[in-house]
Amino acid sequence: MRTALDFTPLFRSTVGFDRMLGALEAATRATGSDNWPPYDIVRTGQDEYRIDMAVAGVDQADITITQERNTLTVTGHRNEEPVGQVEYLHRGIAGRGFERQFELVDHVNVVNASLVNGLLTIKLHRELPEAMKPRRIEIRSKADPVPARIEALETAA
């Protein structure tokens, strides 16, 4: 049994966290019943990530990876052998198609993807724009000369 979480109090007391809280609400509503295909999410560096998906029997041409805004979608299907050509005595390898979505934080992009020995590897990198990186603010004293641009703004006000 899942318990629905109410994030309303957090919406009232925070500013700018609405996307994160919305993602948390979506995660609590998500149906997690389908575990196919199995996958790992690995952090390989400070801003480097990797998604490994076990896609045994699926050919590279049958997998599509798309990134639209902050959603990474991986879809695939396994080509079935024509009916009547083979008789399965035991069928343990899943042959169904799949679609797996991953929510990505802002500024995370796919670097590359590869398929080796049935393991799909998607490498991700987070690249913060220069404007979002921490910067040091210089503290001036009254004796320091004011740059002309700032002086013009101060006199206009």
Asked if the model's pLDDT at residue 87 lies above 80, the reply is yes
Phi, psi (deg, nearest 5) at residue 87: -120, 115
| Strand arrangement of the beta sheet that strand 48-54 belongs to | 39-45, 48-54, 119-126, 108-116
Contact residues for 95 (Cβ-Cβ < 8 A; gap 6+): 57, 78, 80
Give 12-34 pLDDT, tens digit per residue. 677 767 777 777 776 666 555 56
